[in-house]
A and B are shown apart, each in its own frame.
Chain A
Amino acid sequence: MRFFRSHAALLFLLPALAGILIFIIYPIAYSFHISFFDWDMISGKKTFVGFGRYEHLLGDPKFIQVIVNTVVYMFSMVAVTVALALFLAAWLNKSSLVHNLAQTAIFTPHIVSTISVVLLWMWVMNPDIGLLNYVMEKMGVDRLLALFGIKKMMWLESRTTALFSFIVIGVWKTLGYNTLVLLAGMQSIPGQIYEGAALDKASSLRKFYKITVPLLSPSLFFLLIVNVTSSFQTFESVNVISKGGPLNSTNMMVHWIYQTGFEFYRISDSSVGSVLLLLIIGLATYSNFRLLSNKVHYQ
């Protein structure tokens, strides 16, 4: 009875703790473990190599390119979606038919499944029958491009534009959610603060930078963390559209881990990738907190 009283809390936490232990802690530990071995899935032979696989992969330009792709994608996604969402939210922060319709239109991609979004954009970006090139042709943009020696935009099929196209798709998908979060944040700023600012002779621009942005900082910080993490974990679009191609130009960490582990059966390399991704995300989140948390204003 005494044991039960003092340890009751532990008992109630047990189901949740068990889940975390089995499905999160154990796999992470096991990934670390595998990453120090060379494990041949066919013969089943497991030899300890220490940091051998790490050295091998970090010396492989193809793997480095995957890391670079992921980081470029992440930075562009976060910068563009958060900045764009901020301005869109500022514009949408009024109530009228037009604003409400625009709000709905911008949010819709968020509730559509990623696979559907990707399939839609694969058609839009199709060089021959896609909407994008058709519109550009009608608008005469293709003649402008011809001046630079570009015959036709290949979008997802060219090494130079594929990652950019991925970013466009990612932004389109994420923007609505970011806008909604910021809009909610803006609507919780009391109107009297703006009236006070009006009496303080503040211009609209100054109100935006000196009042709206600082008071939105909790929402902005939240979006930063969420977007950094989710951009690092992009998988579906890579898997459906390109499988990492053309020429590895759109391969990103999670997809590379999946491909290496479950298609090429190089489970050790795959674990090394997982461990590195964990470290990168951890580092990014940690530095976000270190650099920005003192600038975030909580009410």
Chain B
Amino acid sequence: MKTLMLGNEAVARGLWEAGCSFASSYPGTPSTEITEAVAKYSEVYAEWAPNEKVATEAAFGACLAGHRSFCAMKHVGLNVAADPLFTIAYTGVNAGMIIAVADDAGMHSSQNEQDSRHYAKSSKVPMLEPSDSAEALEFTKLAYEISEKFDTAVLLKMCTRVSHSQSVVETGERVETVKEYAKNPQKYIMMPGNAKRRHPVVEERTAALTEFAENTEINRVFDGSDKSMGIITASTSFQYVKEVFGDRYPVLKLGMAWPMPVKKIRDFAASVDKVIVVEELDAFIEEHCRNIGVEVQGKSIFPCIDELSQNKVAEALGVKVHHGEALDEAIPARPPVMCAGCPHRGLFYTLAKNKLTVLGDIGCYTLGAVPPLAAIDTTICMGASVSGLHGFNKSGTGESEGKTVAVIGDSTFMHSGITGLVNIAYNDSNSTVIILDNSITGMTGHQQNPTTGYNLKGDPAAKINLEELCRAVGINRVRVVDPYNLAECETVIKEELSVNEPSVIISRRPCALLKYVKHNKPLVVDADKCRSCKMCMKIGCPAISMIGGKAKIDNTLCTGCGVCEQLCKFDALKAPEED
């Protein structure tokens, strides 16, 4: 049946058709929907793991037990999972195993735009790279075949434009596969003696995979009439090349990002006058071509920054494009903002008001960095707020301790914050960590996590008690505040910063977008009392604006959280009278 599917949904369909029965992932844009979609197939066990390393190791365990397994992550998640990746490369697999990694060139929702293809090369694990949804489905099934034939995990590289674009796919039926588990210490216990014997196997495997790359249909030449130029490309860049040139120039499309063929590329180069490499981000294919003695042009004409597009490809290769005309008007930017009613707002207002130094983390609450709150000093990666705070405080003579905090979400804390907190307790820094517990993984679109009490399928699950967890790692002072209550937030933060021992403040209030959260009626403005002082504007709430010098509430947005009401010294903002 022909149907439109997101690239991510197509991967999930491919997993199901190929008989995958185990999926474990941590959410991360743009990879999240693969695991959400595969969870809808009853034959597949699917879960959210606390982080990508756990997910990858769980998927390895499942494949070892004889079941085709899967894990997915965004590009930065693969940094977290790199440890198991490099050694699973040595052990190989029992049943097939796929690790999907979704890059985010253009950084639509990421902190960097690293190119994951380097991981395939350096870990010596093969990588397939689909360019649309139909290929996402087809390559997923092929990845399991490669995995079992060559005894290796397989990386499936997605990117924002493949993951989040819908295109036409043809679906098939599921084929079940299960293998027996047999103990094999030389293969599966990677201690030096065994690993020394496995490394040559890995090198032989790469040679065999290179031979496979010479012959596989997913490394395909599309013929062209004009041989003055040939283009080597992959992934979404292939689509841009075909959009611009159609069938004019010969194109070698590499569906296999690693290892790459040698003879096929040399033969292709010999069939055209010159070779251009079109690829997003780094010069990965380009450097391979040079290494095998094929002269190409690539990053000398294309940027290694940001996504490509049809216009960028056209202009770099001398094709004129017709840009439209912008309006002669200053169009104000529309950056993302914390939602009206967001529980993080009151907490960040308190941090900004007290001029604290704030080490931030990854999640919706990174928006606390945006004016007018502008409350965050640094954001690096998952968990870095907690670990960084320890170093910030411990390295000095104590002057930062009373005015510096870390902020980290509940899901991020589960992902990588716990070990940082252990370090604070164990190495005794006088640090205050604030856990922003909104009872969900927010930014990626509301995924459950170990603190929410529900699993990926929506069923009740074990619920980690944050207070007990923090005490168990050695934090004696654990406080809970309601971020809608500004006075309480300020009092508790000041108290915890003033004491001479580590502490944790849990700022607890569910995300205002959760379906079960009941909103209050929108606040009303008493225009006679409003003195235009703009205190209510300091919290950056999208539901409040000043019109004609008076505060105005947008009834379609306001959730009646009452944070602005607490800031108004003239009682101009009020909850409406009860009927």
To the question of whether A and B form a pair in one complex, the answer is no
B residues neighboring A (CB under 8 Å): none
A residues neighboring B (CB under 8 Å): none
